[in-house]
Structure 1
Amino acid sequence: MENKQSYEETGYLFNVDILIKSRSNALALQAMIEMLNNSENIADFRIKSGMELGNLIESMLQDKRKSLIKSGASTVRPLPDIRTRLKTKIEPPETCPSSPAEKKIGTTEYSSQLHEWITNCIRDNRLTRLTTNRSGQPTSMPCRILNFDESTQLLNVYHVDEKQVYSFKLSEVIEVI
């Protein structure tokens, strides 16, 4: 009888936190990616957190917004950040208008902000987390918004984990983050 031993390579998955010293987050990220790519034992990797890229762009955009607000403070009033309103619930803000016309204006303004935010998500191909309630069953999914039909209030989303497209009425959406 011949005793053959076969050595089969198996993959093992580790979750680690790595501290890399560098002048910036981008350079540290680059150094880490180079280390991971140069190792022949690492088959694949996924970076889940720690990337702080785009902060300079974001701060410049905020400065630009502030300067626009200061220059036209009497005529331009800043719109509330739609993401914070959407994070709580997708409903028009509850106010007590004195007339139905005022209520319609508030709802229309909110609807246009919502449409603008959804359009930005579609254009930027932004990953969002959608919480819905269909038939009494709450569901949370990471997705990308594909299409929004304002006339039928229908939202088409691509579930990134399941790789499927779903359609939701806006009334079924509880939260968008």
Structure 2
Amino acid sequence: MNKNQSYEESGYLFNVDILVKSRSNALALQAMIEMLNDSENIADFRIKSGMELGQLIEAMLQDKRKSLIKPGASAASLPNGQAKPKAISQSDKSPSSPAEIKQSSSQLYEWITDCIRDNRLTRLTANRGGQPTSMPCRILNFDENNQLLNVYHVDEKQVYSFKLSEIIEVV
């Protein structure tokens, strides 16, 4: 037996279910990610399930798709010719007519859903405490009822929640 054995650190993979108490799924997700990021022993993690986020967006998109399939829909109302918005800003959030509001919010939800699905890196500019803050981030989810957008700051490795009214621009 060799008494001069060297001890190397190895990585071990565990599949666990974690129950986090919180007011909403988004806040529970934020708390869990912060907890995992604060631990020095956790090298990496992947959240495979449990995010009950985006269900309202999916329902809205399905309703929109169903309305586009109806025989009375004109070619002008189809979004196929429209480009997805590259930037969502405050000016995009304040259209004048109700029809423009519905179309603008529909495009916003579709764009947010695409960002979440593609895990797209975006730059978010928000007004926090009177100071404009710009951050490279990935959108984790959008809570339509509370108008909250949860993002993961890729440099700081932290999760932030913003109300839509705080967001100046997302590119």
TM-score (normalised: structure 2): 0.51
Shift of the alpha carbon at 1:137? Answer: 1.1
Tell me the alpha carbon deviations over residues 74-121 of structure 1, each in whole angstroms, 9 at most, x when there is no partner: 61353353114x2x54533544xxxxxxx2221011101000000000
Q: 2:122 maps to which residue?
A: 128
> Residue type matched to 1:158 in 2?
Y
Counterpart selection for 1:151 from 140, 145, 155: 145
Count of residue pairs brought into register by the alignment: 95
Q: Which residue of 1 aligns with 2:85?
A: 82
Unaligned runs of 5+ in 1: 1-73, 96-102
* C-alpha distance in 2 between matches for 1:113 and 1:82: 7
> Highest CA radius of gyration, 1 or 2?
1
Over 3 Å counting, the alpha-carbon distance change for 1:171 and 1:135 in structure 2 is same
TM norm structure 1: 0.49
Sequence identity (%): 63
Aligned residue for 1:171?
165
Q: Is the Cα contact below 8 Å between 1:90 and 1:175 reproduced in 2?
A: no
Unaligned runs of 5+ in 2: 1-73
Cα distance in 2 for residues equivalent to 1:131 and 1:155: 12
* Moved >6 Å (runs of 4+): none
Q: Contact 1:90–1:173 at 8 Å: present in 2 too?
A: no
Tell me which of the two structures has the higher relative contact order, counting C-alpha pairs closer than 8 angstroms and 6 or more residues apart.
2
- After superposition, the C-alpha distances for 1:60-85 in whole angstroms (9 at most, x for unaligned) are xxxxxxxxxxxxxx61353353114x
Check conservation: 2:95, 2:104, Cα contact below 8 A: no
